Structure 1
Amino acid sequence: MSDETQDFLDSLPELEAGKTYNFKCYPGISCFNACCTDLNMILTPYDVLRLRRALHKGSVDFLRSHTTGHFSPDTQFPEFRLRMLDNEEKTCPFVTEQGCSVYADRPGACRMYPLGRATSPDGEGGVCERFFVVREDHCKGFLEPNEWTGGSWKQDQGFEDYTASNDRYMNILARIKEGGIPVSEKMGHMAVMALYKVDEFQAFITRMRLFDRLEVDEERQKAILEDEFVALSFAMDWFELMLFQDCANLKEKGA
């Protein structure tokens, strides 16, 4: 999570465990699509993979067409944001009068709205999560009778599919920040390829004979080269091993 995202969440009311809020968004509500303009949305590697697969685009094409990117100064890791349309409203490129055209694969931040979610390591390999309520003046969804907790909303919106990958990625960033030293420029560019250009990373694995140096059984090797979601998970293992010389899911041969 970027520092500006954390500052934004800290400015919002926290939804305490077990507490509920009312919300529903649907075509026909007077504010429909109003939250889909002028967004400053960071996309995680899993967001990018889901979106570009839904759009049938390669990674280079998607990143060039739909994002702006830079390297975060505190980690030197890449950070990509969704590019809004160049119109007066700065509309999301995927919104239509009928709603979101990529709804099934919408980014995690859209999926959780009107909640924000923050995580921190729990000291046991997992995360502690906190929810915050984003109440915007235009939103009429809070007047609806439907009642939710943070957990029930996360489950209803299919966010749990995003949790494992996003939390894993945020944990890597947290470990870099804790170390107090950004990664090298070379590693930052490698992160772009491995985490945001998974199709290119699969070719890199073969070209560089990466499996020759790592303990990866044949079944997992096949899955990594055939399934981009498995390849993204492997990319995070690989980065953990390279950055911290320690990964529960991956070891170098002979180590």
Structure 2
Amino acid sequence: MTTPENDQSQRFLDEHEELAPGQGFQFACHPGVSCFGACCSALNLMLTPYDTLRLRRGTGQSSRDFIKEYADTSAIPGVGLPLLHMHMQETESKRCPFSLKGACAVYENRPSACRTYPLGRATRPGASGVEEQLFVLREAHCKGFAEASQWNPATWMADQGLSAYNASNDRFMGLVAALRAQQQQLGRPLGSQQAGMSGLALYQPDDFQRFLVGAQLLDRLDMTEARKEAVLHDEEACLDFGFDWLELSLLGQTERLRPKG
């Protein structure tokens, strides 16, 4: 997933075939394809907050343990918001740590970029919401395009279970875009304390839930009791709240959350 907000990313999009909403393409990936598993090496694989939540569900780890074992942490340039990438195996091939004998050990919870492939999905804020651009990644090694299965963007996204991923990822990229615009005006990225709290809200819902209880933060917000309970006991609801809280605390306003009074 990418946002075409600079010349380099726009050139990348220009080099690939863009798909219209109903335009078809031919592709399949399964163990019978000769290149099966070849795309799981030397990846610069960004992990969105929802990717991380779902992968942790597959490994059964705490957020701290998962990030320590499987993620490299950096900051988004010019914004300062924390960003995770998958830590590849320390081998010559740099394979994905979840690639075992050519199979994905976390297939049901695989990241959105893996689900979307061989398509790429670029988004940007638009006047009426998120504007989406889809393009085909035709890599030389990939034999999947010789398979007979026919798709269009909508049927592929549905087959790969991308609805929840795309919805959450769009909120994340919208937050990034809003913070980038704000920081361009202020001339500075997020401070270390802001970045730390952002990482907690985005990538560590288990720790964030404990923080919310200890700080009694939910009691100071105009929220229904049902939503409070969901935030404290459901990680998807906690992440959704995290986006709201960051919009309120970092951007100063959000349509979905407000302080009491």
Distance in 2 (CA, whole Å) between partners of 1:128 and 1:7 is 18
- The corresponding residue for 1:206 is 213
Q: CA deviation at 1:6?
A: 5.6
Alignment equivalent of 1:161, drawn from 160, 164, 169: 164
Alignment equivalent of 2:198, drawn from 183, 186, 191: 191
Alignment of 1:77-156 (within 5 A): 77-97=81-101, 99-124=103-128, 126-156=129-159
Distance in 2 (CA, whole Å) between partners of 1:74 and 1:28 is 44
> Per the alignment, in what secondary structure is the counterpart of residue 247 of structure 1?
coil
- Cα distance per residue 1:130-185 (max 9 Å; x no partner): 11111111100000111111222111111112111110111010111122142222
> Unpaired runs of 5+ in structure 1?
none
Maintained 8 Å contact 2:244/2:257 = yes
Compared CA separation, residues 81 and 121, structure 1 to 2 (3 A): same
- The corresponding residue for 2:64 is 60
Give the letter for the 2:259 counterpart: E
Distance in 1 (CA, whole Å) between partners of 2:223 and 2:110 is 32
Give the letter for the 1:113 counterpart: Y
- Cα distance per residue 1:91-137 (max 9 Å; x no partner): 1111122511111100000000001001112223x211111111111
- Cα distance per residue 1:66-110 (max 9 Å; x no partner): 011111221100111001101111111111225111111000000
- Cα distance per residue 1:30-87 (max 9 Å; x no partner): 0000000110011000000000111000001000100111112211001110011011
Alignment equivalent of 2:234, drawn from 203, 208, 227: 227
> Per the alignment, in what secondary structure is the counterpart of residue 128 of structure 1?
strand
> Per the alignment, in what secondary structure is the counterpart of residue 142 of structure 1?
helix
Distance in 2 (CA, whole Å) between partners of 1:216 and 1:17 is 38
Q: CA deviation at 1:20?
A: 1.3
Q: CA deviation at 1:29?
A: 0.9
TM-score by length of 1: 0.95
Alignment partner of 1:33 is 2:34: no
> Per the alignment, in what secondary structure is the counterpart of residue 121 of structure 1?
strand
Q: CA deviation at 1:5?
A: 5.6
TM-score by length of 2: 0.93
